[in-house]
Amino acid sequence: MKRRDFLRLAACAPLLSVGTLLPRTAAARPTAVDGIYFFGELPAPDRIRKVFVTGRPASVLVHTLVPHKQMGWPGEMSGEALALLAPQYRTLPALGQLSGRGSTVPMERLLALAPDVIVDAGMVSEHILSLAERVHQQTGIPYILVNGRLRDSASQLRHTGRLLGAGERAETLARHAETVLTACPPAATQGKPKVYMARANDGLETPLPGSVNGEIIEAACAVNAASSNDTRSGNLARVSLEQLLAWKPDFIVTQFTEFAALARRDPTWNSLPAVREGRLFLAPSQPFGWLDVPPSVNRLIGVRWLREVLRNGGPTTDWIDEAEEFHRLFYGHVPPRELLVRAITPA
């Protein structure tokens, strides 16, 4: 390591665990410290002014911590979502997606944008690490890859915030996350409610056990209904109504309005006790989903909502007030109450 790099690391020691900023060598994989992988030499926090986000999970994390440094969104945001965010961020451009399915940002475009740092968040695998390494090697732009597991939300907020120059704000948000993500009481698996998370307009896509998309179920002290019978690997899977009838979920939750309306009127879906007996619940999805889409720190309010639904058979709290507080704390803006009512009240 060069002497100037060593001195820089020493200067950052009060903020970062030892090893966070170790430069990547050609012969070694990057070292993960507090769930963060680092490629390249990161500028000092006060010199980072332009952050490029690779996908939707990273966009929420960065928007929560340093919205004034966020260069744009990875895709087009709906008018309903933008209306719930602070006015100065509604005109951020859609710059494209660099990670996940269907990358739309060529390296030439990324170089022309000239970000100070790239931030990615989500599942970490050898494939994702290789992609991050390749982007850094081709562009020379420092790259931060954050392990985006829900259970690690406090660590994500705390350490990413420090790297990007928002340490005090990050600590406040991290403490909130720690309060939300309290341990579930000990209980046998068979004593926990089985929850099916319905995705897509037909409700027949669902996150598999252990996936980042469905981990809110476990965080809410429940069991993924797919866990007892489905041995497939990956994040999401298509299922059949026959499978659902065999799984017999105690609760069905979704963020898809079209599916909720379909299930409530369709005779086949009504053959499921959870639908027939009113245990199908529609979670808010704007500006970011409370259950998923994207799987980022936006789910912290969803953990509390889902725990209440499972405990009481439905939401009983005034979630408009709760949403106002969450928006103030995490998004730095409280939307007009009528907009929140429209976003949160089930269709």
- Output the domain CATH number for residue 321: 3.40.50.1980
pLDDT of residue 269: 96
How many angstroms separate the first and last alpha carbons of the chain?
Answer: 58
- Is the pLDDT reported for residue 75 higher than 80? yes
- Is the pLDDT reported for residue 14 higher than 90? no
Minimum mean pLDDT among 30-39, 203-212, 326-335: which range? Answer: 30-39
DSSP state at residue 1? -
- Is the pLDDT reported for residue 271 higher than 50? yes
pLDDT of residue 231: 58
Residues 163 and 285 occupy one common structural domain: no
Return the half-sphere exposure (C-beta side, CA atoms, 13 A cut-off) of residue 328. Answer: 9
Residues 252 and 310 occupy one common structural domain: yes
- Sign of the dihedral through C-alpha 270, 272, 278, 284: negative
| pLDDT tens per residue, range 84-125 | 999 999 999 999 999 766 788 999 999 999 999 999 999 898
pLDDT of residue 5: 41
Residues 9 and 126 occupy one common structural domain: yes
Q: 28's torsion region: left (phi>0), alpha (psi -120 to 50) or beta? A: beta
Residues 274 and 171 occupy one common structural domain: no
Tokens 């909720």 belong to which residue?
Answer: 260
pTM for the predicted model, two decimal places: 0.89
DSSP state at residue 331? I
Residues 28 and 166 occupy one common structural domain: yes
Beta bridge mates, 238: 205
Residues 165 and 207 occupy one common structural domain: no
Return the half-sphere exposure (C-beta side, CA atoms, 13 A cut-off) of residue 44. Answer: 8
- Identify the band that residue 232 occupies on the pLDDT scale cut at 50, 70 and 90: low
Distance of CA 267 to the CA centre of its chain: 34
Minimum mean pLDDT among 188-197, 212-221, 251-260: which range? Answer: 188-197
DSSP strand E in the chain: where?
Answer: 36-39, 51-53, 117-122, 143-147, 194-198, 205-207, 223-224, 236-238, 251-254, 280-282
| Radius of gyration (C-alpha) of the chain in whole angstroms | 21
Rounded to the nearest integer, the mean pLDDT of the chain is 88
- Is the pLDDT reported for residue 26 higher than 50? no
Mean pLDDT of 23-37: 62
DSSP strand E in 221-331: where?
Answer: 223-224, 236-238, 251-254, 280-282
Mean pLDDT of 35-50: 94
Considering 149, 180, 211, which residue would you say is the last residue of a domain?
A: 180
Closest CA to 289 of 281, 277, 298, 276: 298
pLDDT of residue 237: 93
Residues 159 and 245 occupy one common structural domain: no
- Number of compact structural domains in the chain: 2
Sheet holding 51-53, edge to edge: 36-39, 143-147, 117-122, 51-53
pLDDT of residue 190: 66
Side chain identity, residue 4: R
* Domain around 163: 3-180
Considering 163, 180, 197, which residue would you say is the last residue of a domain?
A: 180
Residues 210 and 125 occupy one common structural domain: no
- Identify the band that residue 3 occupies on the pLDDT scale cut at 50, 70 and 90: very low
- Is the pLDDT reported for residue 255 higher than 70? yes
pLDDT of residue 220: 96
Residues 297 and 330 occupy one common structural domain: yes
Residues 17 and 54 occupy one common structural domain: yes
Distance of CA 308 to the CA centre of its chain: 20
Residues 104 and 36 occupy one common structural domain: yes
Closest CA to 163 of 124, 120, 133: 120
Return the half-sphere exposure (C-beta side, CA atoms, 13 A cut-off) of residue 316. Answer: 7
Distance of CA 270 to the CA centre of its chain: 31
- Is the pLDDT reported for residue 164 higher than 90? yes
- Is the pLDDT reported for residue 2 higher than 80? no
Residues 65 and 168 occupy one common structural domain: yes
Considering 113, 147, 180, which residue would you say is the last residue of a domain?
A: 180
